C-alpha cells in the first residue's frame, strides 16, 4: 500500500543519520569507531509498538538494545518516574552492557517506532571497543 511505501522510505532515508545521532549521544557508545557504528546501523531492524505498551520490564532478562525513532517513552523504576525519552535516543543498553536484568521499566507514551539490535549482534560489536577490552584487564 501507499502507506507502507511511505513508511519504508522514511525509515531508509533517516535510518543512518538517526542511529548515528543516538549512538553519539550515549555515554557508552559515543567512543565507537566509525566501522562499528556502520555495523550497528546494518544490524538494526525496524519495529513499532502502540501507545501504552511495555517495551522493557524491570527485572526481566534483556536481549535487545533500542534506538527510538518516533514518539515518546517513559522510564520508571519501582513505580517511580525517572524520565521521558524522545527520538534519537538509545535505551535498553544497560542490561546488555552489564549483563544484568533490566534496571527500569520503559513504557510507550505514544505510538512509537524503534530500531532494535539483539544482544548477540550488539555484544559482538561492543567487544571490539577499547572500553570493554580495557575493563577486562
Ligand atoms: P536497561 O537495559 O536496564 O533497561 C531499562 C533502560 O532504561 C535502561 O537499560 C536505560 O537504557 C534506560 N534508562 C533511561 N534513563 C534511565 C535511568 O535514569 N535509570 C535507569 N536505570 N535506566 C534508564
**Domain extent for 32:** 2-135
30-56: string of b/e by CB count within 10 Å (b at 16+)?
Answer: eebeeebbebbbebbeeeebeeeeebb
Work out the average pLDDT over 106-120. 95
For residues 19 and 90, the answer to whether their CB atoms sit within 8 Å is no
Q: Determine the length of the chain.
A: 137
Q: For the chain, what is the domain count?
A: 1
pLDDT tens digits, one per residue of 1-53: 566 655 555 555 578 899 999 999 999 888 888 888 888 988 999 999 999 99
Distance between CA atoms of residues 132 and 87, nearest Å: 27
Tell me the whole-structure pTM to 2 decimals.
0.85
Q: Name the residue of 90, 94, 95 to mutate for ligand 1: max ligand atoms within 8 A of Cβ.
A: 94
- Going by alpha carbons, the residue nearest to atom 1 of ligand 1 is 92
Residue 129 reports pLDDT greater than 90: no
Q: Indicate which CATH number applies to the domain containing 83.
A: 2.60.120.10
Amino acid at each position: 500500500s501507499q502507506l507502507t511505501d511511505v513508511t519504508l522510505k522514511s525509515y531508509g532515508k533517516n535510518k543512518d543519520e538517526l542511529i548515528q545521532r543516538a549512538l553519539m549521544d550515549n555515554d557508552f557508545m559515543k567512543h565507537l569507531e566509525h566501522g562499528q557504528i556502520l555495523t550497528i546501523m546494518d544490524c538494526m531492524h525496524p519495529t513499532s509498538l502502540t501507545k501504552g505498551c511495555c517495551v522493557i520490564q524491570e527485572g526481566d532478562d534483556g536481549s535487545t538494545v533500542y534506538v527510538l525513532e518516533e514518539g515518546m517513552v517513559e522510564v520508571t523504576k519501582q513505580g517511580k518516574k525517572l524520565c521521558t525519552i524522545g527520538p534519537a535516543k538509545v535505551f535498553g543498553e544497560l542490561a546488555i552492557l552489564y549483563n544484568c536484568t533490566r534496571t527500569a521499566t520503559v513504557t510507550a507514551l505514544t505510538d512509537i517506532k524503534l530500531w532494535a539490535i539483539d544482544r548477540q549482534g550488539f555484544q559482538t560489536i561492543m567487544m571490539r571497543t577499547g572500553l570493554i577490552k580495557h575493563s577486562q584487564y
